[in-house]
Amino acid sequence: MLKKFRKYLFVTGLVTAVATSTPVQAQSADNKFPDKPIRLLVGFAPGGGTDISARIIAPKMAELLGQSVIVENRSGANGNIASEALIRSAPDGYTILLASIGALAINPHMPGGTTFNPLKDFTMISLGVTFPNVLVVNSASSVKNLADYIASGKKGKDVDVFYGSSGSGSTGHLAGELLNIRSGMSAQHVNYKGGGPAMTDLLGNNIQAIFASSPTAVPLVTTGKLRAIAVTSPKRVDSLPDIPTVAEQGFPDYEAMNWYAFVAPPKTPAGVVEKLNRAVVAALKDPATIARLKNMGIYTDPSTPQEMYDYVQKQYDIWGKVVSQVKF
């Protein structure tokens, strides 16, 4: 009996050890996080709004986390390629994504949809930044204001106005389509893999306009390379105080705002998410970071993971209705 009892104690202890080892190891891994560099994926080419925002925020995050935060561009499909890469990544916090409004609220409603559901397949970390689009033309253009731009798209079938964006379904694209619907003009959309390539074509006079993200547009407007025609926010922005909104120029209630947010792969441990959230929120509250972003018309908007989820869900529903009115 004694031998059997000892055997029972041994087996029971072994089972208990196995049963408790995983949580202990997971907790240990959370406590050590991060002990190596973190990749911050960006779904667009260098030079666009997402890329610029990520490269301003990443250094402060790195300082707070004690590890490098390396920005990695995975451009294409309006952010879907980067989103899919994130979902395939290990849920350990070492690969995160600065996701755009496209990936989180617009793309799933587009023709063909997406292979992921942003409300189920991402772990929310924090909201990041918000900012408007800016309708810009080449500084050599004869277009001086929104009325001129709309008129140029109504002159006749032999006159084409081409406007670029960072991707089909981006707010830059939908901002143009919304203006087409409201004004009756027929500007044609040109799809690029990021705001940077679109801007290169505008500077080269290969297209007539862009509803560009403010971080992309503001430096080029202030240096005189581009002319700003309108901003798509409800109010004027501090970085371009003399540029009227679309709403001010005859289209009340017109609005097409951008926002980016930080997400991790599904099933990322809560302890890791908490550490990432603290770093993101602190970085977005840093006065130097706020000042650099604000100079380009970008406004920080940190949140808790739950606040971010609620916001994404609301935006998902809103933009779903907008996409349903656009002809692709």
pLDDT, residue 134, reads 96
pLDDT, residue 157, reads 55
- Is pTM, for the whole model, over 0.85? no
pLDDT, residue 28, reads 52
pLDDT, residue 19, reads 44
pLDDT, residue 24, reads 47
pLDDT, residue 156, reads 62
CATH 3.40.190.10 domain extents, the chain = 132-249
* pLDDT < 50 positions in the chain: 1-26
Q: Residues 89-147: pLDDT tens digits? A: 999 999 999 999 999 999 999 999 999 999 999 999 999 999 999 999 999 999 999 99
pLDDT, residue 5, reads 42
Query: In the numeric block, which tokens belong to residue 83?
Result: 């989103």
pLDDT, residue 168, reads 83
| Cα–Cα distance, 227 to 297 (Å, whole number) | 16
> Looking only at Cα atoms, what is the longest distance across the chain?
100
pLDDT, residue 320, reads 92
Considering the four listed CATH numbers 3.30.430.20, 3.30.360.10, 3.40.190.10, 3.40.50.720, the one that applies to the domain covering 132-249 is 3.40.190.10
In sequence order, which residues have a C-beta less than 8 Å from that of residue 244 and are 6 or more positions away?
Answer: 146, 230, 231, 236
In DSSP notation, 296-323 reads TT-EE----HHHHHHHHHHHHHHHHHHH
CATH 3.40.190.150 domain extents, the chain = 33-130+258-323
Place of tokens 């919304």: 178
Q: Which CATH number is associated with domain 33-130+258-323?
A: 3.40.190.150
CB atoms closer than 10 angstroms to residue 134: 30
Specify the 3-state DSSP secondary structure of 82: helix
